[in-house]
């Protein structure tokens, strides 16, 4: 199991998370968010720091199968949890998740900053079955902001992935 057990001291906690299928041991300050643990301690920079207030969705990851804004979750409070980031959506052989492929097909990104959060939220939406209509998709994706306005293409990509 790979470790990142630095820094040491009385103000740090040992935390084990399963990230993208791999158990990872970390030593974190108690106030470290899940987003910062992923980005700064594990080098998984796909999840983006947007607003840092849970309002934009750029940091969305799947935590124990549910989408969360990782900027609002203290990593130490999720000891033993499973985290799936955008880096963990593709298969081990590199085959893209159907939603990732649909995002490419439908050009569902412009600047790309929100794309990792949109993908993680979209994968959760597909797994939850909230894809019966365009209105339902828009409602369930409303926590993920795209400042470029690629919403029609994002919805089309989700609809295509849902039809598979």
User: Residue ranges per domain, the chain?
Assistant: 3-88, 98-163
pTM of this structure: 0.91
Q: Does CATH place domain 3-88 in 3.10.20.30?
A: yes
Q: What percent of the chain has pLDDT over 90?
A: 92
Candidates 124, 141, 140, 134; CA nearest to 66 is: 124
Q: Where are the beta strands (DSSP E) in the chain?
A: 3-4, 13-19, 22-28, 60-63, 66-69, 82-84
Q: What percent of the chain has pLDDT over 70?
A: 94
- The residues, ordered by sequence, that sit 6+ positions from 7 with a Cβ below 8 Å of its Cβ are 27
Tell me: pLDDT of 61 over 60.
yes
CATH architecture of 98-163: Orthogonal Bundle (1.10)
Tell me: pLDDT of 71 over 80.
yes
- Of the pLDDT bands very low, low, confident and very high (cuts 50, 70, 90), residue 164 is confident
Domains 3-88 and 98-163 share a fold: no
Q: Per residue in 143-163, pLDDT tens?
A: 999 999 999 999 999 999 999
- Determine the average pLDDT of the residues in 22-43: 97
Tell me: pLDDT of 89 over 70.
yes
Identify the pLDDT of residue 10.
Answer: 64
Q: Per residue in 109-141, pLDDT tens?
A: 999 999 999 999 999 999 999 999 999 999 999
Tell me: pLDDT of 3 over 90.
no
- Determine the average pLDDT of the residues in 69-93: 97
Tell me: pLDDT of 8 over 60.
no
> What letter would DSSP give residue 38?
I
């Amino acid at each position: 199991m790979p470790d990142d057990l630095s820094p040491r001291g009385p103000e740090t906690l040992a935390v084990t998370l399963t990230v993208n299928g791999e158990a990872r041991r970390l030593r974190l300050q108690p106030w470290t968010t899940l987003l910062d643990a992923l980005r700064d301690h594990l080098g998984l920079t796909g999840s983006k720091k947007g607003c840092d207030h849970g309002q934009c969705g750029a940091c969305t990851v799947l935590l124990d199968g549910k989408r969360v804004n990782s900027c609002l979750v203290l990593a130490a409070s999720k000891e033993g949890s499973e985290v799936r980031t955008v880096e963990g959506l593709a298969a081990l052989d590199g085959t893209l998740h159907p939603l990732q492929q649909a995002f490419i097909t439908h050009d569902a990104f412009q600047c790309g900053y929100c794309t990792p959060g949109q993908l993680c939220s979209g994968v959760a939406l597909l797994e939850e079955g909230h894809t019966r209509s365009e209105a339902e998709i828009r409602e369930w994706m409303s926590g993920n902001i795209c400042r470029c306005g690629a919403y029609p293409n994002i919805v089309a990509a989700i609809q295509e992935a849902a039809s598979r």
